[in-house]
Amino acid sequence: MDHNISVHLTEEQLNKRIAEIGAEITKRFQGESVYLVCILKGSIFYTTELAKRIELPMNIDFMTVSSYGSETKSSGIINIKKDLESSIEGKNVILVEDIIDSGYTLSHLCKLLRTRNPKTLTITTLLDKPDRRVVDDVVVDYTGFEIPDKFVVGFGLDYDQRYRNLPYIGFIEDEV
Ligand SMILES: O=P(O)(O)OC[C@H]1O[C@H](OP(=O)(O)OP(=O)(O)O)[C@H](O)[C@@H]1O
Ligand SMILES: Nc1nc2[nH]cnc2c(=O)[nH]1
C-alpha cells in the first residue's frame, strides 16, 4: 500500500536549522569534546547531518531502544536492544533524537544515562510534537522544529519501516 505524502519541511529547511543547532553546540562546548548518542533507527539522518556541523572533537555511538505498542503509539515500556559501546562517565554527552512524541523514550533514556555519570547531558531533537506529551520531565536543549499532531515520515522517520529515505519531512495524508 502506498501513501500520499505532503511535504512539511524541505531538505533545505531541515539542513539550515541543523546547521544553526550545530553552530550553537560548537559554541557551547568550545575547547572540549562531545560524545554523540544516536538513537537508532530514526535519528540516523539527523545525527549524521548534525555531526557534520559540529566543529569539535567527537565520538559517535549508537543505542537501539524499542517501545512496545502499536505502529503509531508508544506504550511507555522501553527496552534497550543495543547499548553504547563505551563508558560515558565524565563525557559531554549529546543525546540525539529524531522526534519526541509522548516523551516516554526520552524520559527513560535520560534517567538511564544520568546513572552513568556523564559530565554533561544535552538533549537535541529534530522534531517535537508538544501536543502529544504524556511525560514532560526532561528539558530539551535544542529543538529543530515543533510540529502539529500528525504522523510524519522521512529524514529517518518511518511508517512500518518505509519512507526513512525521503530527503524531507512529510505528513502521511492517506493511502492510495
Ligand atoms: O516520545 P515517544 O512517544 O517515546 O516517541 C519517540 C520515539 O519514537 C521513535 O522511535 P521508534 O520506536 O519509532 O523507533 P525507530 O527510531 O527505530 O523508528 C523516535 O525515534 C523516538 O525514539
Ligand atoms: N515515523 C514516526 N514515528 C513517530 N514516533 C512518534 N511520532 C512519530 C511520527 O509522527 N512519525
Task: Assess whether the C-beta atom of 98 lies below 6 angstroms from ligand 2.
Answer: no
Cross-strand bridge partners of residue 142? 124
- Its domain, for residue 7, covers 3-175
Split into its structural domains, the chain has a count of 1
Query: pLDDT tens for residues 80-110?
Result: 999 999 999 999 999 999 999 999 999 999 9
Cβ pair 25, 34 in contact under 8 A: yes
Instruction: Give the global pTM.
Output: 0.94
127 CA to centre of ligand 2 in angstroms: 9
Query: pLDDT tens for residues 129-163?
Result: 999 999 999 999 999 999 999 999 999 999 999 99
Q: How much is the ipTM here? A: 0.96
CATH code, domain carrying 7 = 3.40.50.2020
Task: Give me the sign of the Cα torsion angle 142, 62, 152, 149.
Answer: negative
Catalytic, out of 2, 83, 101, 149: 101
Average pLDDT over residues 16-40: 98
pLDDT score for 23:
98
Task: Assess whether the C-beta atom of 166 lies below 6 angstroms from ligand 2.
Answer: no
C-alpha cell at 49: 547531518
Task: Assess whether the C-beta atom of 158 lies below 6 angstroms from ligand 2.
Answer: yes
- As a whole-number percent, the residues of the chain with pLDDT over 70 amount to 94
